[in-house]
Amino acid sequence: MEHRVTFLPKGKKTSVKEGTTLLEAAMEIGLSLRHKCGGNATCGTCRVQIEQGHENLSPVNQREIELLGEERLAQKFRLACQSKIKGPVTAKIPHWFPISNAKLED
Ligand code: FES
């Protein structure tokens, strides 16, 4: 089963197989989404903000809780490399912002 994924702010769309991560989907259509650790959930650079379809992603895992923290999770940030697509999703690639959480590497 395929699901539609839209990446903001450019509005680029793709359809991907269930279980594909947001990072894989972004790379498939040539979007430059940082992923310093290569998708191993240790850098936090692949974070995206979910605009629609938060419920259509795999549940937040322990690494995301540790790397993103409560505040960013409440703002619907996810690690793209950890978020598996289970339905239509719209995700925003944020402007790079200064790091306030020391665990998040630039
Ligand atoms: S690519 Fe490093 S945490 Fe996702």
Domains of the chain: residue spans and CATH: 2-92 (3.10.20.30)
> pLDDT (tens digit, 9 = 90+) per residue, 38-54?
999 999 999 999 999 99
Mean pLDDT of all residues in the chain? 91
The answer on pLDDT for 100 being more than 60 is no
> Beta strands 47-52 and 77-79: pairing type?
antiparallel
The structure tokens 């809780």 sit at: 65
Kindly give the distance from the C-alpha atom of residue 39 to the centroid of ligand 1, in angstroms, as a whole number. Answer: 4
How far does the centroid of ligand 1 lie from the alpha carbon of residue 34, in Å?
Answer: 8
Other C-beta atoms within 10 Å of 101: how many? 12
Residue with CA closest to ligand 1 atom 3: 41
CB of 79 closer than 6 angstroms to any ligand 1 atom: yes
In the three-class reduction of DSSP (H, G, I as helix; E, B as strand; rest coil), residue 67 is classed as helix
Q: Which residues pair with 63 in a beta bridge?
A: none
Residue closest to 94 by CA, chosen among 16, 19, 10, 18: 10
User: Does any ligand 1 atom lie closer than 6 A to the CB of residue 81?
Assistant: yes
51-89 pLDDT tens trace: 999 999 999 999 999 999 999 999 999 999 999 999 999
State the Cα–Cα distance between residues 16 and 77, nearest whole angstrom: 20
